[in-house]
Amino acid sequence: MTQSINNKIPAAFRRFTRNAGLGVLLAVACVGMISAASAADKPKGQEISRVIAKEMTAAQKALQAGQWAEALKNLDEAETKSPLTAFDKKTIYNFKGFADVKLGNLKAAQTEFERTLATGAATPEEVSSITRTLFGISASTNQYQKTIDFGKQMVDAGTATPDNVAIIAQSYYQLKDCKNASAWADKAIAATRKAGETPKENVYLFKLQCASDSGDTATMDAVLMDLIRLNNKTTYWNTLLRIERQDERVDRNTLMIYRVMYNTNAMNADTDYIEMAQLLADAALPGEAQAVLERAMSNGVIKEEHKERTNRLLTALKTRAEADKKGLAQEEAEASKSPGGELDVKLGEVYYGFGDYQKAVDVISRGIQKGQIKHLDEAYVYLGLSQAQLKNYAEAKRTFANLKLVPDVSPRVLKLWSLYAEKLG
């Protein structure tokens, strides 16, 4: 379980930082344009000193011509002149950072942009743009602490995007600081929702891995439910249901968990199919048990060492299922005459196992109306499943919602079927 999550984390981080890297060039270009354009409306006293006018003019021409190495040569020469004002230094460092990025020298560019900020001469707009650039460079070069530091500056300034906040969370994760990784993941999710967007799967994965690493199954459970609400992937259903199943000690509830796993196509182990079939057989539902095993066989899930046992079980189930089919008419007559609804519900479960979903809906509905049902939670589950098979999703959702009215329903069962109902249709 942990391994499957681990495999997703590096790829998730690479996707985010790759996008951040693409943003570096755009951000740096903005920095360069701000600096180049500043001569038109500089505040009084904000001018290049005459002592470096020649070198700076040559540098600007080289930058405009895309001659990055030549620009750096002129800027290096300008830096040797004296005296230099803070504005002179800011402009030299800023232009050098721009040229270094164009040459792919991100580490050198980072140094120059940090020097630019250190002069104290950058305008608020330049500070914002340079900070964003430094954030992108840090993320692209796996400088996690610096990514966090520059990211927090953007958050404090109100200029961070939801993706920026997510990268802060990921950087904390890379530093193995799960407490902050989870906290910033929550901030990223909240920021994304506030922006009217759907949170990204990657952000949840960091929370999930942190919870898995610490053995915090309650948090894993909550994050997996969020992921299922997000994209309804069978892998997340499978992991969630395995967590839920490991602490379940009541066979009837275990079967309920298997039903969710089966109906979300999240069942992928042959032992799960076999155990579900055996539990269904014990519940006097051989027709449904037969269908479960036949799906496993047709999907090629059954391992070679389990085939003989599975075939024996399947043969026995077929015999019992045939007997059930022959007795349907008599059971229908007995159920319709019964004042209580127990026989109707049991008959409906049998119809469901044979794939006659409309019959299942009819007789289970009749049974619920009569009342006196031993396991009302099972009645609602089979009724809801039958309605879903008939693509009557609105009715199915209403039926599953009735589970919360069942006095003795398992909280675990209620939670799982409520989540299943959310994703219907």
DSSP letter string, 60-105: HHHHHTT-HHHHHHHHHHHHTSSS--HHHHHHHHHHHHHHHHHTT-
Do residues 160 and 137 touch, judged by C-beta distance below 8 A?
no
The architecture CATH gives domain 8-160: Alpha Horseshoe (1.25)
Place of tokens 């895309």: 66
Inform me whether the pLDDT recorded for 232 exceeds 80: yes
How many Å apart are CA 92 and CA 15, to the nearest integer?
33
The arithmetic mean of pLDDT across residues 131-153, rounded, is: 97
| Weakest mean pLDDT among 150-154, 225-229, 248-252 | 248-252
Inform me whether the pLDDT recorded for 376 exceeds 70: yes
How many Å apart are CA 410 and CA 335, to the nearest integer?
27
Instruction: List the one residue out of 377, 378, 359 whose CA is nearest residue 285.
Output: 378
pLDDT for 173 equals 95
pLDDT for 15 equals 54
pLDDT for 38 equals 41
Q: What is the pLDDT of residues 48-89, one digit of tens each?
A: 999 999 999 999 999 999 999 999 999 999 999 999 999 999
The arithmetic mean of pLDDT across residues 236-261, rounded, is: 95
Inform me whether the pLDDT recorded for 274 exceeds 70: yes
Q: What is the DSSP letter of 19?
A: H
- Confidence class for position 425, pLDDT limits 50, 70, 90: confident
- Confidence class for position 47, pLDDT limits 50, 70, 90: confident
Do residues 301 and 273 touch, judged by C-beta distance below 8 A?
yes
pLDDT for 247 equals 86
| Weakest mean pLDDT among 25-29, 66-70, 230-234 | 25-29
Instruction: List the one residue out of 267, 210, 257, 201 whose CA is nearest residue 234.
Output: 267
pLDDT for 3 equals 44
pLDDT for 11 equals 53
The arithmetic mean of pLDDT across residues 377-394, rounded, is: 97
pLDDT for 43 equals 44
pLDDT for 22 equals 40
What pTM value is reported for the model? Answer: 0.81
- Confidence class for position 113, pLDDT limits 50, 70, 90: very high
pLDDT top residue among 12 and 135: 135
Q: Kindly report the CA angle at 85 between 154 and 36, in degrees rounded to 5?
A: 60
Inform me whether the pLDDT recorded for 135 exceeds 60: yes
Work out the percent of the chain whose per-residue pLDDT is above 90. Answer: 88
pLDDT for 26 equals 42
- Confidence class for position 39, pLDDT limits 50, 70, 90: very low
Inform me whether the pLDDT recorded for 25 exceeds 50: no
Inform me whether the pLDDT recorded for 127 exceeds 60: yes
Do residues 208 and 220 touch, judged by C-beta distance below 8 A?
yes
Contacts of 11 (CB under 8 A, 6+ apart): none
Q: What is the pLDDT of residues 322-347, one digit of tens each?
A: 999 999 999 999 999 999 999 999 99
- The mean of the pLDDT values for the chain is 90
- Confidence class for position 45, pLDDT limits 50, 70, 90: low
The arithmetic mean of pLDDT across residues 18-42, rounded, is: 44
pLDDT for 17 equals 47
